[in-house]
Each structure stands twice: as C-alpha cells, then as structure tokens.
Structure 1
Amino acid sequence: MSTSAKNLDPVFQGAGQRVGTEIWRIENFQPAPWPKTEHRKFYSGDSYIILQTTTGKGGSYLYDIHYWIGKDTSQDEAGTAAIKAIELDAALGGRAVQHRELQGHESDMFLSYFKPCIIHLDGGVASGFKKFEEEKFENRLYVCRGKRVVRMKQLPFARSSLNHDDVFILDTESKIYQFNGANSNIQERAKSLEVVQYLKENYHERKCEVAIIDDGKLVAESDSGEFWVLFGGFAPIGKKLASEEDIVLEKAARKLYSITDGQLKLVEGTLFKAMLENNKCYLLDCGGEIHVWVGRVTQLEDRKVACKAAEELIHKENRPKATRINQVTQGCETNSFKYNFHSWPLGTGTGNTAGEEGRGKVAALLKQQGVGVKGSTKNASVNEELPPLLDGGGKVEVWRVNGSAKTPVPTAEIGKFYAGDCYIVLYTYHSVDKKEEYLLACWIGKESIQDEQIMAAQLSDTMWTSMKGRPVQGRVFQGNEPPQFIGLFQPMVILKGGLSTGYKKSLADKSMNDDTYTSDGVALIHVSGTSVHNNKAVQVDAIATSLNSFDCFLLQSGNSLFIWHGNSSNIEQHQWALKIGEFLKSGATLKHVKEGTESSAFWFALGGKQSSSNKKVTSDIIRDPHLYTFTLNHTLLQVAEVFNFSQDDLLTEDMLILDTHAEVFIWIGQSAETKDKHMAFDIGQKYVDLAVRLEGLASHVPLYKVTEGNEPCFFTSYFSWDSAKAVAHGNSFEKKLALLFGATFSERQAIDKSNNGNQSGPTQRASALAALSSAFNPSNSKPKSTKLVRSAQGSQRAAAIAALSSVLTAEQKKAMSESSASKTSSPYSTAAVLVETFQRGTQCSEIGDLIEVQLKRKK
C-alpha cells in the first residue's frame, strides 16, 4: 500500500538539513522539539528521538536515528518513539540507520554525541518535573564507567554505594570530589575528570574546588578527611555488587528470519547477501544484537511491523534489556551487519559508493510511494582535500634493498624507483618547534620479490629501533604513494624492471626478458602531476594507446627525448614534464610535440600511429577518517569504532587504528603493552584485510606506525590538535589532571604520592577523624585559609549532621536501650561520642537527633 506524505509527522519538516544533533521528546504521544540547551539531559519517565546528521562522500548527508527509552517511560510512549523514528527515516529518504537506546545501556555512538556525559534525571513530562537548575542544590553521588564515553549513573548518597572497582563523583555545593576505587581503570579515571570539569563549568560557574581521593592509600590526601565526613566517617567499603549495567551481551549463532505480517520464518543455510530480497524485511538475530533489514521497495507500514517484531522477540524470549536493535535499509548496511554474511560483494567504486547509490535509489522509491523526502542529497562537488606536507628542506636518504643488505642510492639518483625493487627512505626534518623529526618508510615495488619485501620490513624495523622508536614508520606500495611521500622527491619517477640481484635472478628462473629501464633504449613516461604533492611520473608500455589527451608524456628513443603535450593538458604539467626530462636525461635535446603534430620518428618509436585516449583518469581522494580500538584474539582481529573522536581519545595505555581511507595509521601510546607494539604492522595489515572486504579499502593502502609524542602533521591534521596535550607526562589520568587543573594541582598530588611512598602522615581514617573533630570544635582547629574556615564552621558541620543522620543505626538503638541515668552520666561530649563511634566503624541512623539532644543539654 502506498504511503502518502500526509502520514508523516509535520514536526519532522526540515529535519536533517544541517550537520549536528536534533532531538524530539515524546509528549502526549507526539514528538516535540527538545531545546538545544536541554540536549544533555534525559528524564527517566520520557522517550526521545535523536537525529545525528553528518556529511559523507560527495557532500551528501548521512543519518543515524536513535530512539531513547527511559526506564520509567510507559510502553505506549516507547512504542510511539520507535514508530516515529521510522517515519523520520522515511522523511529523510529511507537512508538512516536506526538504533534503539535504553537508559543505562546506551551505545558508545549515542553517548559520543554528548561528550563528556549525559545526565539522567528523575521524572518526566507527565510528572511536571522541575528544571535541573531550579532545584535546590543537593549533594549528588555518581558512578562513572567507560574508557572513552562516560556512562554516569546517580546513586544513593551513602557510603554503601562506594566500592573499590569504580570511579565516583561526589558533587557538593562548594567542592567536587572524585573518588578513585583502588581497582578502578586508569582510563576511566581520566574520562571522569572530564565530567568533573563539565560539572564545575556548567553547574558551579567555575567557582567550586576539586578534590581527588584515591582509595586504598595508606596515607591520606589533604581532602580525604572532608570527603569521609560527608559519608559519616571513614570505614571500610564493600565489594562491587552486580547490576544490570554489568551484563555482558553474549553473541549467539546467527539466525536470519524473513518477516511477513509480523511473523518470523527462519531462513535456512549459510548467510549470503543474495538471500535478501528487496521487497521484504528480515531480522538477523545475533544474540546480544538484533538487526532489522528492510528492502528498498518495502512499504512504510511493513517497516513499522518489522521493528515491532524485533521488540516482541526480545520480550518473548526474555532477553536482557540491554539487547540492541538496529534497523538498516538496503544499500545503507553497516559493517556490523555485513560482517555476519559469508559473502558481501562490494561495488566497483571506492569508499561508500555502493551505500550512496543505495540511498539515492531508496529516496527515489519513497518519492514514488508519495513520501515527501527532504534533503535527500546535498549536491556538492568533491573538493580535493590534502593533508599537510612535511616541512621542506629536510634531508632525504634512500637505500635499495639488495639481498639481505641495503645499498645507498646516489644523491643524483634519488627519486628513481624501480618496480622490481624495494627501497628504504629516511627523511629528517625540523618541525615548527625546531624539534628534529623523522619519516622512515619502505617502498615496495609491484614486481619486487617476496624475500626482499620481507627484508625491507626487517631492515626498516632495525633502523626504527636504533632510533629509539622516534620516526614515523611507514610501508608504501607502488601505485598508492601518499602526497607527503611523493612530496619528498623533486621529482619522483617509477621505472620498469629492477636493479637488485634478487629481481634479476627471479627473471632468469622464469626465463623472462629483462625490461629494466635504460637511458639509451625506448621508454614512455606518463606525467600527470601538477604540483609538489602529486608529481609522480610512471613508465608505461611504449605504445600509442598509452597516450592520453589530458596529460603529458616523455618519449625516450635512443638519444632523442620527446615531450608530448595532450590537447587537454595544462601548463603545470608541461613544466613538470620538462623537469622530469632533465632529471632522466640531463643535457639531452628536448623536442616538444603537441598532440596532432607528431613526426614519423615519434610514431615509429611507439610501433605505429594509433588514436590516443580522451578519457580522463581521476583520483578519488577521500577524507572521511574513522578511529578504532581493537582486540586481537589469536589471529582474529575485532575492531570497535570510537565515534566523534578527538585527541582526548588517544589514551597513552592504548594502541588505536586511524583509517582515513587513503592511509591507515597505527597509533601507539607510550604506556601500551610492549608485545603489542612489536605487532603494530601485523595488526595494521589484519585491519586492512578486514576493511578491504567490508569497505572496499585498497589492499595496498599506505600503512604507518606512529608513536605518542612523535605524531607528524599529516596525522595530527585529523584532530583539533593541542601540542600541550601531546607533551604531557604520566598515565592518562595524570595527564588529564595536569591539563584540566594545572601544575599546582599536580604538584600537590605529587606531594601526596611522595608522602604515601614514605609511609608518613595521617591515614585516611585519622584524617577523617580530624576533619570531624574540626567540624564540631572549630575553635580547636587552625585552618589554612578563610575559605576553609567557613567550610568547617558552616557547610561541613551541616553536611556532617545530615550525612550522619542516615548512618550508624545499630549504635543508636543500642544507646536508646540503655537506662536514662546511664545516658545522663555519660562523660562524652558530642564530638567525642562521634569520634569514638567512627573509630569503632559502627552505624546508627538517627545520629542527627542525638546531636541535637546533646546540644540542648549543653544549653
């Protein structure tokens, strides 16, 4: 049944017309725009629709739609969010990937839109909630989990909420405390600091103090006493208790179902792409993740039924709430979907060409169905974006691999590369800050033998190690040279044949003729470059059909050298051709030939006259980078994308993969595992093999190994790079601490660490007792600052009373059971009673009342 544009909600009019995040909240079963100022806040009683718009190849828009379900939202509202998400997809041309997000189980992709965190709030539109800022400030305790995106959950403000395995943030009116469990992850500590900074800037007007409390330290930090007073005193904390958030979604045997009228029918056999019919919907069950695939000619109502079928499967089989549901449209499949199929043929184009074509077909079909498609394509030309080139004027050294050794290439010959050989290139230059930098790369010719390819890698590794790992190390393959590599040579020429003994021997073994370039034979050189980044010239077959009207060619015939200008070539190409001619045959007489004016001698050298090609060869330069974490189990590489990545995601304990489609980088943090560092290129090649199958990545894409602190400009250009972050020392937590809160804070931490190492100074228990005593007997303490005095006399005393009123239950009951005479004659002052109570570590719930009784007696 055809679906009319009238059936689509008008609130989505104009959606997806700009890059960024748009949110709608379900109110009275209708989507209502959610203000930009509220984007980070999600109420547990509500459901939301989130649209993330990004730009893809060619300037077209790419969409991800998430529908977020609060833990207290009604089933009807949750269903409305799912249905409206499908309608929004239809309004966008059926090109979006849809994701179901449950409170507390949000995906990394979803959380990345709201870095450093999202804030879960109680209530919702139906309960008449108050705005977060309007509420009276209350101490809030959060647990923070996640190495790259923080999952922040509010917990009851009680010592029993703490444990040794997580990172906690206690947000009070005058100070924010970060409590690092003794067993917590260093990277989680670092990411939690970003949350602390966010809270300070947005809810405290940057005026509050920040304190770091490290669990398990024998010697206390200067702020630990105040921290423990808020929890009723120092006492041992319990173990982490299992919760729904800790459930690990397990993979199961993949099952493919076709969906007809909401009913699932199992599709038997090995999974192939050809099984998916474009007029049907399918459900791919992977256990912890369910994919709904919709054919591009399916009706809108069929898509809604398919989504409902996935929800019913989870409910029927009592699956964990965290089970993910993703919906993709034919032609717009994600890698996580395609990976489950035995065979997934790729289109002939590079990058995401197949996906772009699929999106166009879907949009056209939806228009035929009467669905109004908004912003289906952003017609923009592809601009050739190039990475920064390395600083010119450096020193270039080149060695040709010959057997098990490397032979220096004479200076006059640097720039000539033979397809049968392998080379090692070392470029030494100075960066902007005068620091000496290096690029160490081995170039692999297409016709080189495998033994010399392996030897080139080994010799390059030896040089890299001898230089203490400072160089950026790369592997560059003939035909895929990146701009910054080509730019080192003025000019760069790739010639046929080879000079190494290994290559010569391989030809003899195969009884093949040696066609290695010589300066007195016949050779045709194709010149297509116009600038320093693409000035590569390549020797081609010396026949007339190799000529192209858009480029220039050098024809060498004995002592004669012709420069042939195609009718559509430009002056820059003419100049490069002249430079290359001088480089190859210095002092030779150059004969300029324009297409159509060739002499008989010219055609004779090419074996006879034939028509040249008028088809322009274009290079597809794509700048759509993706950052990945990875795990390597035996030989199986599994990758997970770091969405909306930034420099902050380069954590020193990790190794990461940056794929720009034109190049692949393996970034190695200083504190990464040593055994993993040595496998960098093996890991990189495994990733390339995977991306070739799923993304159509070139199999011989340039591959680099980059170490932390030695990132080149053509790597840092993919980040908003801050050099101060790059030179910070320590683990990821210590680096973040210094960057966010300054050297003074770090110096204090260093003193605390030194004290801990010397086993001198007060313990955390003693520090808590001292702070408690100070809170109730301010005249006996001598604070270091006026600010601290006010805190001790006012907020700390009140906070201590409030916190203590909910702890130590057993102690009060015991006290109430004693005789009144015994109580009256007690020699203890209020503070002394509390100190003794904390020393015993016992608990009492109404200690606040006990305090008030003691104060009245004193009066």
Structure 2
Amino acid sequence: MSGMIKAKKYDWKDSNLAMFGSDTEKQVKKESAESEPAWEGAGEKVGMQIWRINKFKVEHWPKEEYGNFFNGDSYILLNTYKDPGEDILKYDVHFWIGSESSQDEYGTAAYKTVELDTLLDDRPVQHREVARNESSLFKSYFKSLTLMDGGVDTGFNHVEPEQYKPRLLKVSGSSKKVQVTEVPFCMANVTDDDVYIIDKGNKLYLFCGSTCNAMEKYKGISRIQEIKNTRGKATSETVESMGHRCFEDIPQTASCESSADDEPDTTSVPSMFKLSDNSGQLEFSTVQNEGTLSRSNLSPEDVFILDTTKDCFVWVGKGASQQEKQNAMTYAHNYLKSTCHPLLPVTVFKQGQESKSFMSATTA
C-alpha cells in the first residue's frame, strides 16, 4: 500500500489522535461533562448546536454564523432530532477539523466530543469531519457551507476591513446545495460556470459567470449582503466581465497551489477490518478487501472498520470490550493515514444504530 500514498496538504492527519482513544480521555466522568458550562442545555430539545474550540475551551458559535467555518479552527456540532412518530431524542455529534487547525484544537474537539457523548449517555452517533471532505449528512444541515481562511488564533474576525488581505470566494453548486468556499487568490480559479466574490475589505465585487445557475447567483448576492452587514462602510458592485478593473491585481497562476487532496482516489478498494482483544491484546486484522462489504462478517463481540473508499464506518458490537470501544476511532484514523483517502468522513456507531448510508454501502 505504501506505493499508493501521495503527498498530502494536511499536516494534522499525521497525528495519531492520541487524546481521543487514550485511557485518560475515556476516564472523563459524567460529572465532569455536567460541569462544562458550554454543555448547558445540550441535547435537551430538537435542533442544532455548534461550538468552536478556543484555546482548549468550548465556546458557543453564534447561530447567525451557522454554516460558516474557519479553516484555522475546529468545531463540534450536535444535531438533536426525533424519528417520525417517536418521542425519543436521538443525536449525531460531529467534530469538524479545519485544514489549518492546530493539533491542540482538533485534539480538544475530539476529547470534548467524547465528553458530550458521555453526557448524553453514549447515545449519539459520532462523526469525524474534515474541511472540504464533509459527509453528506453534515452538508445536509446547511443551505450552504462557507469555508474561510483564518481562525481564532489569527484574530481574523477582529481585523479591520481596510487591512484585509484580498480573498476570492467561489459560490458553486446545484439547487439542492450551494457552497461558498474560499479559494486561492488567482485568476486560474475563476471560470464562467460559477459565481465569485472578490472581497477587498470595504469593497466587494460580485462576478456571475455566463453559465452560472440561478441558485448560485442568489447565494452570491445574499452572501455579499451578509458580509456588508458586518462592515458598516463596505460597498458592493456587480461586474459582468473578467476584464473589469477588480481583476487587475489578481495574479494569473503564480499564487495558486494544487492539492493532491482534490484528486479522486481511483486505486483503492472497499475493505473491512476487525479490532479485537480476544487474544489478550488489541489486534487489527483484515476481514475483507474486495467486492461489496458484507454485514455477515460482523460479530457483536468486536469492533469493525469498514472503508468503502467514500466513507469510513466504525461498527461497535454490543459485546465489544471497553478497550476495543476506546480505541475504535484512533485505529480508524491511523488506518486512513496509510491510504490515498485519509480525509474521509468517519462515523462511529453502535450495533443497532446503523444508518441508511451504511446499509446501502454493504450487503446482508
């Protein structure tokens, strides 16, 4: 497999997420979770709650910013819901890792996700999300996603508009999902089939490509208005041609960076692995590495990691040992590091919590 590994843009993936699966991390008591001020009211009613990690602390993310994420930060998202006709609250908890997030931030996010899971009596389904590689479930929570450079450590939110480093926002998608993403500031990233916002602080420009769709236009207009609402002096202008003066100071290609992460993985095959301590020590072994993954290979006494090449599922059997449960996410994370797709969404769920996506990706 080593010959298949490509150089990656993300440095954080080389961590072993030691905080997540360690004995110390799993010793987090419910009393400790209940003493965390940020968790007050968490999961008590249907709805979504988001927190950002700031210097080892969990802080509420403003509701008006839901859907907007800084690549320099890590976040925790809790979605509380009920199935139709049922009164029982159910949960999905995601920790989202920005591409430039520090080890302290995403380590704390992973640790606090476990703490929140403990507070909710181990009922949530846990997810690891990575910027620009989010799961379909995560994306479904928002009308659009906006990924921006900077973060809490950069003080990006506190920079005056006049001091902004110019940035380029790409607005793209279909009627079902439009995403706003900050892309490298160069003309090679501007095409006629999408909408773009050239953000120069107190002056914003909206460029609508000739073949862009109506939803992209609508989102571009509304996103510019959202930005202007936070900057009292900011003005905007809609431009119709790439020959407009607003493009004059944007380099052609020199500043652009290509990323191997954007290349589709066409070499990997679906694989299933078992994590078991039946021998007295943890062993990670291959169960299946070709064809459609079969649920008949799952046994309640162990933990299984299923890599579909599109998603990574961690299935925790009802009879799995505490050691197996504690190390499930760590083993999944470390396994993905050795593949051509280390940034896949990871979903950890207990036997009986299987999602539709898991069922459709496997056979009986």
* TM-score bucket (shorter structure): 0.7 to 0.9
Equivalent residue number for residue 287 of structure 1: 309
Counterparts in 2 of 1:292 and 1:34: CA distance versus 1, 3 Å: same
**1:199 is paired with a residue of what secondary structure?**
helix
Equivalent residue number for residue 335 of structure 1: 356
CA distance in 1, matches of 2:323, 2:105: 19
CA distance in 2, matches of 1:7, 1:279: 29
CA distance in 1, matches of 2:97, 2:122: 22
| Alpha-carbon shift at residue 200 of structure 1 (Å) | 1.1
Equivalent residue number for residue 841 of structure 1: none
Equivalent residue number for residue 106 of structure 2: 78
Counterparts in 2 of 1:175 and 1:304: CA distance versus 1, 3 Å: same
Contact residue 250 and residue 288 of structure 1 kept, 8 A: no
Q: 2:127 aligns with which of 83, 93, 99?
A: 99
Equivalent residue number for residue 90 of structure 2: 62
Is the aligned partner of 1:10 residue 2:35?
yes
Contact residue 162 and residue 237 of structure 1 kept, 8 A: no
Contact residue 116 and residue 191 of structure 1 kept, 8 A: no
Contact residue 168 and residue 184 of structure 2 kept, 8 A: yes
Is the aligned partner of 1:168 residue 2:190?
no
| Alpha-carbon shift at residue 76 of structure 1 (Å) | 4.3
Q: Deviations over 1:486-521 (max 9, x none)?
A: xxxxxxxxxxxxxxxxxxxxxxxxxxxxxxxxxxxx
**1:328 is paired with a residue of what secondary structure?**
strand
Equivalent residue number for residue 162 of structure 2: 136
| Alpha-carbon shift at residue 133 of structure 1 (Å) | 7.5
**2:162 is paired with a residue of what secondary structure?**
coil
1:103 counterpart letter in structure 2: A
| Alpha-carbon shift at residue 192 of structure 1 (Å) | 4.6
Q: 1:229 aligns with which of 245, 251, 263?
A: 245
1:149 counterpart letter in structure 2: K
Equivalent residue number for residue 809 of structure 1: none
Counterparts in 2 of 1:107 and 1:68: CA distance versus 1, 3 Å: same
Q: Which one has a larger percent helix, Structure 1 or Structure 2?
A: 1
CA distance in 2, matches of 1:156, 1:234: 10
Contact residue 186 and residue 252 of structure 2 kept, 8 A: no
Equivalent residue number for residue 43 of structure 1: 70
Q: Report 1:619-658 matches (<5 A).
A: none
Equivalent residue number for residue 179 of structure 1: 208
1:254 counterpart letter in structure 2: P
Q: Deviations over 1:391-419 (max 9, x none)?
A: xxxxxxxxxxxxxxxxxxxxxxxxxxxxx
Contact residue 292 and residue 328 of structure 1 kept, 8 A: yes
2:83 counterpart letter in structure 1: G
CA distance in 2, matches of 1:155, 1:8: 38
Q: 1:34 aligns with which of 61, 75, 99?
A: 61
| Alpha-carbon shift at residue 281 of structure 1 (Å) | 1.4
CA distance in 1, matches of 2:183, 2:147: 13
| Alpha-carbon shift at residue 137 of structure 1 (Å) | 6.5
Q: Report 1:372-411 matches (<5 A).
A: none
* TM-score where L is the length of structure 1: 0.34
**2:126 is paired with a residue of what secondary structure?**
strand
2:207 counterpart letter in structure 1: Q
Contact residue 142 and residue 155 of structure 1 kept, 8 A: yes
Q: Deviations over 1:218-249 (max 9, x none)?
A: xxxxxx48x621222999999x9864563234
Counterparts in 2 of 1:338 and 1:260: CA distance versus 1, 3 Å: same
**1:291 is paired with a residue of what secondary structure?**
strand
Q: 2:284 aligns with which of 259, 264, 279?
A: 264
**1:114 is paired with a residue of what secondary structure?**
coil
Q: Deviations over 1:613-663 (max 9, x none)?
A: xxxxxxxxxxxxxxxxxxxxxxxxxxxxxxxxxxxxxxxxxxxxxxxxxxx
**Larger RCO: 1 or 2 (CA < 8 Å, sep 6+):** 2
CA distance in 2, matches of 1:236, 1:72: 24
Is the aligned partner of 1:90 residue 2:118?
yes
Q: Report 1:154-165 matches (<5 A).
A: 154-164=182-192
Contact residue 53 and residue 73 of structure 2 kept, 8 A: yes
Contact residue 144 and residue 180 of structure 2 kept, 8 A: no
1:162 counterpart letter in structure 2: V
Counterparts in 2 of 1:119 and 1:203: CA distance versus 1, 3 Å: farther
Contact residue 283 and residue 310 of structure 1 kept, 8 A: yes
2:197 counterpart letter in structure 1: I
1:327 counterpart letter in structure 2: V
Contact residue 146 and residue 179 of structure 2 kept, 8 A: yes
| Alpha-carbon shift at residue 91 of structure 1 (Å) | 2.6
Is the aligned partner of 1:191 residue 2:216?
yes
Equivalent residue number for residue 434 of structure 1: none
Is the aligned partner of 1:316 residue 2:343?
no
**1:267 is paired with a residue of what secondary structure?**
strand
| Alpha-carbon shift at residue 264 of structure 1 (Å) | 1.5
| Runs of 4+ residues over 6 Å off in structure 1 | 233-238
Aligned residues: 324
Query: Could you list the runs of 5+ residues in structure 2 that have no partner in the other structure?
Result: 1-22
Counterparts in 2 of 1:323 and 1:116: CA distance versus 1, 3 Å: closer
**1:72 is paired with a residue of what secondary structure?**
coil
Q: Deviations over 1:457-507 (max 9, x none)?
A: xxxxxxxxxxxxxxxxxxxxxxxxxxxxxxxxxxxxxxxxxxxxxxxxxxx
Equivalent residue number for residue 79 of structure 2: 52
**1:287 is paired with a residue of what secondary structure?**
coil
Q: 1:110 aligns with which of 121, 133, 138?
A: 138
**1:111 is paired with a residue of what secondary structure?**
helix
1:323 counterpart letter in structure 2: L
Counterparts in 2 of 1:23 and 1:237: CA distance versus 1, 3 Å: closer
Could you tell me the percent identity over the aligned residues?
28
CA distance in 1, matches of 2:293, 2:204: 57
Q: Deviations over 1:679-702 (max 9, x none)?
A: xxxxxxxxxxxxxxxxxxxxxxxx
Equivalent residue number for residue 7 of structure 2: none
Contact residue 314 and residue 346 of structure 2 kept, 8 A: yes
CA distance in 2, matches of 1:13, 1:195: 36
Counterparts in 2 of 1:237 and 1:192: CA distance versus 1, 3 Å: farther
Greater C-alpha radius of gyration:
1
Counterparts in 2 of 1:170 and 1:93: CA distance versus 1, 3 Å: same
